[in-house]
Amino acid sequence: MPLNNTQRLDRIKVRIAELAHWRERESVPVDGWTVNGAPIAVGDGWPTREGVLKFAGSAQVPDGWPLSDTRLMLNLGGESLITLTYPDGTARSFGLDPYHQEFPLAAQSVEIASDSVARLPFGEPVREPRVQWARLSWIDKPVHELHLLLRQIAEACDALGDHEVCPHLLTAAEDALRSLDWPSDGPDYVSRTSSAVMQQKIWQLPELKENPAGLDDASRKTVEDALASLTAQLSELAERFPPQGKILLTGHAHIDLAWLWPYAETRRKARRTFHTALGLMETSKDFHFNQSTAHYYHQLESDDPELLESIKPYVKEGRWETIGGMWVEPDTNMPTGESLVRQVLYGQRYFEKTFGVRHDVCWLPDCFGFSPALPQILKQGGIDNFFTIKVNWSETNRFPYDLFWWEGLDGSRVLAHTFDNPMQGYNGFVRPDCHVPTWKNFRGKEVHDETLLAVGYGDGGGGTTPEMVEREVQLRDFPALPSARWGRIDEFYARARAAEPETRYPVWAGEIYLELHRATLTTQSHVKRMHRRAERSLITAETLESFATLLGGDAPQNLETSWHHVLKNEFHDILPGSGIKEINDDAVNELTEAYDTGIAAQDAAMGAIAGLLPKGDAAKAIVVANPTSSPLALNVATDGGYLSSEDTVPALGVAVFDLAKLEPASGLQASEEVLENAHLKATIGKDGTVTSLIHKATGREALADRGNQLWVYPADKPRNWDAWDIEDDYARKGVELTEVESRELVESGPHRAALRIVKRYRASTVTQTYILTASGRRLDIETTIDWHDRRTMLRTLTPANIRARRATFECAHGVVERTTHTNTSWDAAQFEVPAHRFADLSEPDFGVALLNDAKYGHSVKGNLLGLSLVRGPVYPDPLADEGEQTFTYALYPHTGAWHEGGVRQQAEALNQPLPSVTASGLAAGAHALVTLDGVEVALSGLKGAEDGSGLILRVNEPAGRSGALSPTLPDGWSVGERVNVLEEAAEGDALAPLTPFELRSWKIKRG
């Protein structure tokens, strides 16, 4: 009775598996190993699994073995960088991991050395590391090639299913297998196949031969003939069943800069992976490899400069793509717009300096959603194309496109592509059952005939394997499958652009929100807080130094090195908090260093500014700078106490106040129940919540119910991805903190009033201080959390006395509007969303904003403003967010819409307190150093030009308005040409009206 095709395929798979046992023609052990100078035998355990161990050994290829077919088979027990040194002094290095354990040799004699760690690629400890095997093997090449080709046929039949080519493929495979004259001698056969799954299940195997016989010449001839015949049959079938679709293959090794391993291990991973890729390039003239991240190449300058120099010729040749154009592959939800600008500025400059290339493809395969500010920044940095794959991870709604124009806030468009490979995503494989579904899932095939596929082991590095390179060659003459060839990613995008006009590809406008990994906006909040402070510290330092320059002082110093610390820690597993404890500790330390550098530069700049201001009769003065684009009321902390008056500090300027004449704003009153000034009246209830918040200018009550309710959610226990995810049902079990442990009026004016409330949840303590300054228009809630509860989340909820169908959330260089209802699944999925310094809910004439100086996870559904404050996940850091942290959020009622009511300005003031310095002998007065007349804009950056010639002024329109804008500078300075984010001449009139959400930069020069 004939078998059906499924049964035939099962039978073929069993027979294919038999061939693998004859792949190694002969083998000899490699003995005489040492570890850290002490002897160790194959099979022995390591003396320690901590740190980097150095193994050493040597091998001699037996006489008569062809070197081209000889391999070093090695598994030392963890991950290693092995170096093979030959008698002539030449050396080759390779990465050793579970997927790279066979290495070619260049001479008959070789010395072997390794740097090894007892870890696997995803950071898992090898609990009992030992030298697993070490041998030289003579590969029976015809057996190897036939075995691989038959496997590819079986994989193709699995993937193609009922395709009419499959019976022909099965017949060709059966004919090849039947044509073999295979050994059957009992002892040799059983010994050869003893590692087979079914053999390993036998109660007791017979005594096995140490070196069972391989194929004899006659049997090998049948293998060679079968391979030739099968290859010819496949070529004939390929004419009858031509390829369906095209796939561009790019070798890839996604190396997370830090994730489940510390950064020191990443440096080793990069070297291992890059050496492996170089080895493949040396043996294959067709192989292409891509590796993003300027930071990796920068670190090679000190870690392995010879390796960096070895990469450069392949970059010049075009087969190694140093792709991406950014310093790292950053998270894009949380960095400021200026940080994203610096990712591109410093990334592109480094690639051009080091390799002589710039990039036009942004490569972000693994980030957790994408800011709508990104297309404009990319375009201004010479990057016209965008790649990701993470959009395919959304759990609720399928992202509708995979080849499309992504339109940003301002209307800038980049060509975006994603592929849907169900076999490990961007860590793909060269094999038919990876290619077929990837092509099948490509919805853009209706308008373009080619998709991408990145192949190689990744996340923990490793990259492409020699087998993947061999497979690509075999699949060139294969029927029915998509054509898959190595190539350049930038050329893929060039072909896609040439294939169709813009009008044929669909357009996705705005943010790309990932319906997953929402907890990355909150987890490891100490890193997020320090990152916010560090980027703000550097931006302000550059601004203040530029103020001094405009006043006649020295040119600003270049803070690029400190920016590198910030940019590195924006990596998409560091800033989101999805890594182990060690990387978060490192991040806090590095970000603190950047912050301290910025503060020191600010202090020096303020001293310089004070020395450059007009002299006068103020015996004791305070010099206050405003590094924002809006005038701000005087609210400043000094060594002598807090000052709050109705005086203002001009936008992008400085003011000198005579302390003897400075008066607090009138009307501040405080008790244990009420904080009140001329603008607000806040009533604090017995449970510590805000029971009333009156906006005096309108007389409106801002709250629909108690504000600043603190809720603990003890069921914050995701199905997967503990540090990454918040489940949609987390709020079904909540505990409100209503018991007040203590209550104290700690300040009562005249410049500031403060009421402290202490609450407790189990082992954790929440201390909140309500603060109202004399001239303040917002109610600050300074919060110190001492957190000691696992798998619980703390949030603040405020029901606003507002009815609006949309809420506004700040993002990089603008805002995102999102619905407050759940009409569709797209609306409902956005139950936790990113925002920077504010979320606002407004009617046309009145609104309430929730401001913060350290948080990113928000929610606004109905009239409920929510902010996530802390979580307690246990993987991959069992004590994430354990301990004390301090931050501030605020409630701000206002007239008009958010952009009319000063929401952005109040958020800026909360995040950047006005810098000040005391001085004597100065004239009181205000000095506007950069005046921006026209449409309201936000400052992105004011810094020294990278080429040392003058300054760069960069602003963005933050609210979606158009209008003229004219910068005015001090005497002796002029606005020069319009420049892009790379600080090169840009198209367009320098003083043309700004368009909604436009980012514009100018060169500022003396004269």
Active site residues: 366
Helices 525-550 and 560-568, interaxial angle, to 10°? Answer: 160
User: Contact at 8 Å (CB) between 652 and 942?
Assistant: yes
To which H or E segment does residue 787 belong?
strand 779-787
Shortest CA distance to 783 belongs to which of 867, 849, 664, 858? Answer: 867
| CA pair distance 434, 424, nearest whole angstrom | 9
Q: β-strand 133-139 against 70-75: which pairing, if any?
A: antiparallel
Q: Is 933 exposed, middle or buried (0-12, 13-18, 19+ CB in 10 A)?
A: exposed
Phi, psi of 560 (to 5 degrees): -60, -40
742-748 β-sheet, strand order: 742-748, 752-761, 764-773, 779-787, 883-895, 846-852, 838-842, 806-811, 814-819
| CA pair distance 230, 712, nearest whole angstrom | 66
User: Contact at 8 Å (CB) between 788 and 884?
Assistant: no
**What SS3 class is residue 851?**
strand
What is the number of alpha carbons within 13 Å of residue 331 lying toward its C-beta?
27
User: Contact at 8 Å (CB) between 212 and 21?
Assistant: no
User: Which pair of tokens denotes residue 986?
Assistant: 């840009």
| CA pair distance 770, 780, nearest whole angstrom | 6
Shortest CA distance to 294 belongs to which of 337, 254, 336, 352? Answer: 352
Shortest CA distance to 689 belongs to which of 624, 736, 637, 657? Answer: 736
Q: What is the DSSP letter of 707?
A: B
Taking CA 28 as the corner, what is the angle to CA 24 and CA 29, rounded to the nearest 5 degrees? Answer: 120
To which H or E segment does residue 441 belong?
helix 432-441
Q: What is the DSSP letter of 224?
A: H
User: Contact at 8 Å (CB) between 33 and 86?
Assistant: no
- Residues ≥6 apart with Cβ < 8 Å to 695: 679, 680, 701, 702, 846, 893, 894, 895
Shortest CA distance to 383 belongs to which of 356, 416, 410, 350? Answer: 416
| CA pair distance 120, 132, nearest whole angstrom | 14
| CA pair distance 35, 129, nearest whole angstrom | 13
Shortest CA distance to 706 belongs to which of 679, 683, 675, 676? Answer: 683
User: For the chain, what's the residue count?
Assistant: 1007
Shortest CA distance to 634 belongs to which of 621, 623, 649? Answer: 649
Query: Backbone dihedral region of 775: left (phi > 0), alpha (psi from -120 to 50 degrees) or beta?
Result: alpha
Q: What is the DSSP letter of 45?
A: B
Phi, psi of 911 (to 5 degrees): -85, -25
Taking CA 969 as the corner, what is the angle to CA 975 and CA 348, rounded to the nearest 5 degrees? Answer: 45
Q: β-strand 833-834 against 931-934: which pairing, if any?
A: unpaired
CA dihedral of 423, 429, 430, 433, whole degrees rounded to 10: -20
